[in-house]
Homo-oligomer: A and B are copies of this chain.
Amino acid sequence: MAEILADRAGVVPPRLADTMRYSALGGGKRFRPFLLIESARLFDLEADRVLNAACALEFVHCYSLMHDDLPAMDNDDLRHGQPTAHLAYDEATAILAGDALLTLAFETLSHPATHPDAAVRAELVLDLAQSAGWRGMAGGQMLDLAAETTSQASLTEIARIQSLKTGALIDYACRAGATLAAAPEADKSALESYTRALGLAFQVADDLLDAEGDAAVVGKATGKDATAGKATFVSLLGLEGARAKLRELEATAVTALAPFGESARTLAAAANFVANRRH
């Protein structure tokens, strides 16, 4: 990722490139690239063959965090334990650097170095754009902004927002790994069941962390949802109910991987990690 963001030609305005690197290289779990790499590995495609696509996916995730953190959006001060980009630089630069990271994702995916077959590259671009766009992540963020001012959202609505805002890119991660490896359709379906449960588990865990977590460990502000009176899995199910839901989703995710046998043990461990993460 540092390689793609290096700007060896030196033609990018330094402040813009710095902000893009600050956001993309400044930490984070790299959960989505991990999923993409492990999904490709299920079909015997090694990590070094899918790194470009994994970086592209992380760029989209990082752009979304940078824009979500803006004062006009969630107005967050802290990300991965560091000042958010609009504080470390400024608001205009954070907006532009986010735009540029999103654009770089598509530049990276469509580049011949990512995959020799143009049909695969075009499919990866189409799928990512659909997952990240108005019918996916961006739509989810819009719904989430609206939901922040209401505690009336139902469990179905909360789950729908999650499936768009967080789930869409997590689904994409596994699908892209399978696409790069030319996996059979049946295997793609099994992976989809896994990512559906995993994405939901990820959000339930996020809500639990917000309700229970320590900002110093989590790396961002906690307790925000309750303060804002926002409907979450925790406010709707209670702490115990949310924990039970999380364990159920963890089991569903692990079970969905059964067809892949032993080769899916790292993906199964990811489901355990998500259900038990403390940050």
Binding site for B on A (CB under 8 A): 7, 9, 11-13, 15-17, 20, 63, 67, 70, 72-73, 90-93, 95-96, 98-100, 102-104, 106-107, 109-111, 118-119, 121-123, 125-126, 128-130, 132-135, 138-139, 141-143, 145-146
Contact = CB atoms under 8 A, between A and B. Distances in A.
Given A20-B134, A110-B125, 6 more contacts: A13-B142, A67-B95, A73-B92, A118-B119, A118-B121, A119-B119
B135 A111 contact: no
A16 B69 CA distance: 18
A52 to B, nearest CB: 12
- How many copies the complex holds: the figure is 2
A63 to B, nearest CB: 8
A16 B142 contact: yes
A91 B72 contact: yes
A135 to B, nearest CB: 5
A20 B138 CA distance: 12
Nearest to A15: B142
A226 to B, nearest CB: 21
Nearest to A125: B110
Contacts of A98: 99
Contacts of A104: 129, 133-134
Contact of A126 (B110, B123, B135): B110
Given A99-B67, A102-B102, A133 B107 contact: yes
B96 A142 contact: yes
